[in-house]
Amino acid sequence: MSMLGVAEAAEQLGVSARRVRQMLADGVLDGERVGRAWIINREQLHQVAGLRPKVGRPWSPASAWAVLALADGEQVDLSPVERSRAKKRLAQGLDHLVGRLAARCERRRFYAHPGVLDRLADEVVRAGISAAAHHGADLVIGESVEGYVRAGEIGQLVKQFGIDEHAERPNVLLRVLSDDVWPFEADQRYAGRSVVGVDLLESEDPRSRRAGAELLAS
């Protein structure tokens, strides 16, 4: 099995090393940690390279949320041009757009004491593994939380629940959004089905990815 480091993978994909690390964090690219370094299977890299768009600008968070809103049948305020573009993108299938849809949020990982996880989950819009069962996915989760949160609320959550962003074994994944693209209703507790499906497809866990694919297919 031929393995590559981050720098070599970046050169082959034609992107920066930072972008490769982000792809690893988002689950778009599979890799294995050896100490502080990543190693990547060359064959898997070639598969990802074949799925990468060859041209086109990176999506904005608003563009990503427009596609997801249409996927879930939500009313979204778009111009005719924006709506047409979002429909064309959605026609490709969300499972083929996971890499582009990563633009919808910033992913930040934390560790929280297991005793505060339930209360923490009540302060965010539950997503990914925390919302899978709500949408009927056959996925059992352990002591962890995943959710969407406004950027301005992170500081308060850190203070309120004592969550640690530098822990070696995080059990909280917060997907951070700015107020100008916040897509959820004031009383919404769970992200929509398509959003959760994409969340799961980004996971490093094969069971979560499978559950995400099944949600999107249904």
pLDDT (tens digit per residue) in 40-49: 887 767 666 6
* Residue 212 within a domain: yes
- The answer on 110 and 213 residing in a single domain is yes
Q: Residue 33: is its pLDDT beyond 90?
A: no
- The answer on 108 and 96 residing in a single domain is no
- Give me the pLDDT at residue 54, please: 46
- The answer on 197 and 150 residing in a single domain is yes
* Residue 164 within a domain: yes
Q: How far is CA 108 from the centre of its chain?
A: 10
Q: Residue 172: is its pLDDT beyond 80?
A: yes
- The answer on 71 and 47 residing in a single domain is no
The Cα–Cα gap between 104 and 102 comes to: 5
Report the domain count for the chain: 3
* Residue 56 within a domain: no
Q: Per-residue confidence at 171, pLDDT binned at 50, 70, 90? A: very high
- The answer on 144 and 45 residing in a single domain is no
- The answer on 193 and 126 residing in a single domain is yes
Q: Minimum mean pLDDT among 4-13, 83-92, 146-155, 203-212: which range?
A: 4-13
Residues spanned by the domain of 14: 3-51
- Give me the pLDDT at residue 40, please: 84
- The answer on 140 and 39 residing in a single domain is no
Q: Per-residue confidence at 55, pLDDT binned at 50, 70, 90? A: very low
The Cα–Cα gap between 178 and 31 comes to: 29
Helical ranges in 33-135 per DSSP H = 42-51, 61-71, 80-90, 98-101, 117-121, 128-131
- The answer on 186 and 129 residing in a single domain is yes
